[in-house]
Amino acid sequence: MKKIFYYILLSAMCILPFSCSLDEESRTEIDKNRFMKNALEAETVLLGVYQSLVSDAMYGYHLSILFNLATDCEQVEGSTTENYRIIPSNAFNASQAEIQQTWAALYKAIYNANDFMEILQQRMNDFNETDKQLAYIYIAEARAIRGMCYFELVRRFGNVPLMTNTAMSEQAPSTFVQEKPETIYKFIEEDLLYAIQTLPYAIDDTNRQSNKYRMSKGAALGLLTKVYATWAGYPVKDHTKWAEAAKTAKVLVESQKHDLLNDFKQLWENTCNGVWDPTESLIEISFYSPTASGGASDPCGRIGKWNGVKTTMLAGERGSCAGNVKVIHPFVLKWREKDLTDGEVYNPETVKDKRLNLSVANYQYSPNKVLYAKGKSDTDKKALENDADSKLKNKEKQNYTPAKWDIEKYVKNKLINNDKSNVNWYFLRYADVLLLYAEALNEWKQGPTKEAYDAINKVRERAYGNNKYNLKNLSYEDFRKAIQDERAYELAFEGHRRMDLVRWDIYYKTVKETSNAITEWFFDDNMAKNKAYNTAGRYTVFGKHELYPIPQRDMDLCEQFVQNPKWN
């Protein structure tokens, strides 16, 4: 009850930029005098700052799933741009509600972090020494969250306003200006460097009673590595940041405080059941709900519902899963065939890369059985077996879905809801950092080093179960391509691909090539009566969809704002 009270209190404190009033500020000032008198109360409010990340507009839906489609790996279900399909099709405009909602939610989270830090910095002067040490850690956590939110803003929207304190929310909208991405990145860097210097590694933490799903030194190091790698790419292209990315990742790697789990499958069993294991999980958004009602006050997300295996409802046993994220089949073909030697034929029973069958589902759950593509039942246990069936209609192959968040397979205590789940979301895994480390070294040194090979091969050795497929003797360009492919396989459907393609400055090119590949593959068997779909291929515009538009509401309010290219 105490935590719920403070969540409600924090909600009363939240003042969105451009929407505050004297009356709201008055109530806020009164509330500020009633809490955070010690570290325990401060921690409770800090948990409310973390809760800013779980709404649909944040990682419950938009930033985890909806905004990350239209790549060479995944697309939205259907062949129209109606309803939820408009954003994954890149057919929306600057007035799209979801864009405004996420922009506002990110700034709301930033406001919450700023407000928490400002109050705590006032209160901690009266804390005892033990509570003061905790307060410094809590401030570092809030700065890491703030840095993470600004990272989402700058990489998705480009030129954005910088809100460094709560007082700025009282300014007239006409006074707000956008900052260059370089300025935002520098601010993020400062936040994360502070967090790195202040926070303990998760396994060394003796200060916090619980550090489950909380920021740590490893999380901040990994996030800063990702920030530097994005800063080095499109559109800023500050190539000096490759060295910073490599150096930052090296600190994390050489600390030996984090590692890969031995079993790739364990990652999905953990996150689907709320099992916290900081070995590989660096930043993970928790959607545990104490009431399991899926209501507005519960931190439930859509993970596994939208991007999981299509499932029909069973009354009293399970909710349905829409399976609205579809796997692009040429990506499956490329993954399936990438390790075949000359003359070798694909065999689903001896697939070399173990991640494939754990990442792609060619089945769905009907009321009483598992239905594989072409209607085969669960007596047929060979994952992706029907992919090798020459008689299988390509139309059915378009309905494969991600398998990582297979609720029916993994979740032990299901939330019986058709829309929401308690499945968590990995924002950053150690495997991601290893691949960024390898990439940064290759870009910095203009060729792969021993450390770069070690990093990428560590990821591949888990995937294959041996070192037979380790990479070696590659040129700078070939290693870059290998990294780009490996990130697709290791991190498939985890929300990284679109942002990767953008920072590599190949987003438009890849979307168009993917659309053509789908059409070419689909008509290989001359089945013209079945229609291939890829809506993003029709609507994506070069130099436009690399960034989202500044929401039209804010363009109208903030007279000095300049819209992103081609969004007017």
In tens, the pLDDT along 376-400 reads: 444 444 444 445 554 456 788 899 9
User: Are residues 121 and 10 part of one domain?
Assistant: yes
Tell whether 262 and 361 lie within a shared domain.
no
Whether residue 243 sits in one domain with residue 350: no
Among residues 436, 437, 435, 440, the alpha carbon closest in space to that of 476 is found at 440
Whether 471 maps to a domain, the answer reads no
pLDDT at 4 over 80: no
Percentage of the chain beyond pLDDT 90 is 78
Domain boundary among 243, 273, 303: 273
Rounded to whole angstroms, the Cα distance separating 231 from 245 reads 9
Residues 267 and 333 in one domain: no
Q: What is the mean pLDDT of the chain?
A: 89
The pLDDT value recorded for residue 306 is 94
Buried b / exposed e along 385-398 (16+ C-beta atoms within 10 A): bbbeeeebebebbb
In a domain, 137, yes or no: yes
Handedness of CA 63, 65, 66, 70 (dihedral sign): positive
Say whether both 398 and 266 belong to one domain. no
Are 266 and 329 found together in one domain?
A: no
| pLDDT computed for residue 381 by the predictor | 45
Give residue 522's pLDDT: 85
> What confidence category does residue 13 fall into, taking pLDDT thresholds of 50, 70 and 90?
very low
Please spell the DSSP secondary structure of 367-404, one letter per residue. SSSEEEGGG--TT---TTGGGG-TTS-HHHHTT-EE-T
Positive or negative, the CA dihedral 160, 164, 165, 170 is negative
pLDDT, position 530: 59
The per-residue pLDDT for range 130-141, each reduced to its tens digit, is 999 999 999 999
User: In this structure, is residue 547 part of a structural domain?
Assistant: no
For residues 253 and 138, membership in a common domain is answered with: yes
- Whether the link from the prior residue into 330 is cis, omega within 30° of 0, is no
Looking at 371, 400, 423, the residue that finishes a domain is 423
Residue 157 belongs to some domain of the structure: yes
> What pLDDT score was predicted for residue 294?
47
Structural domain containing residue 395: 325-423
**Are 266 and 383 contained in the same domain?**
no
Residue 564 domain flag? no
pLDDT in tens, 279-338: 999 999 999 765 555 455 567 899 999 999 999 999 888 999 999 999 999 999 999 988
Band of residue 8 on the pLDDT scale cut at 50, 70, 90: very low
Q: What digits encode the pLDDT tens for the residues 59-76?
A: 999 999 999 999 999 999
46 inside domain = yes
Q: How confident is the model at residue 553 (pLDDT cuts 50, 70, 90)?
A: very high
Number of domains in the chain: 2
Could you read off the pLDDT of 228-244 as tens digits, one per residue? 999 999 999 999 999 99
Q: Determine, yes or no, domain membership for 549.
A: no
Distance, CA of 72 to CA of 513 (rounded, Å) = 8
DSSP codes, 330-341 = HHHHHHHHTTPP
Domain of 251, CATH number, reads: 1.25.40.890
Could you tell me the two tokens for 269? Answer: 């069993």
| Claim to verify: residue 360 and residue 262 sit in the same structural domain | no
What lies within 8 Å, CB to CB, of 16 at 6+ separation is 104, 107, 108, 111, 169
Q: Are residues 216 and 125 in the same domain?
A: yes
- Asked whether residue 263 falls in the same domain as residue 369, the answer is no
Task: Give domain status of residue 13, yes or no.
Answer: yes
Among 364, 397, 423, the domain-final residue is 423
- The DSSP secondary-structure symbol of 360 reads E
The region of weakest confidence among 15-24, 56-65, 245-254, 283-292 is: 15-24
Q: Mark whether 28 and 131 lie in a shared domain.
A: yes
What DSSP designation does 504 have?
A: T
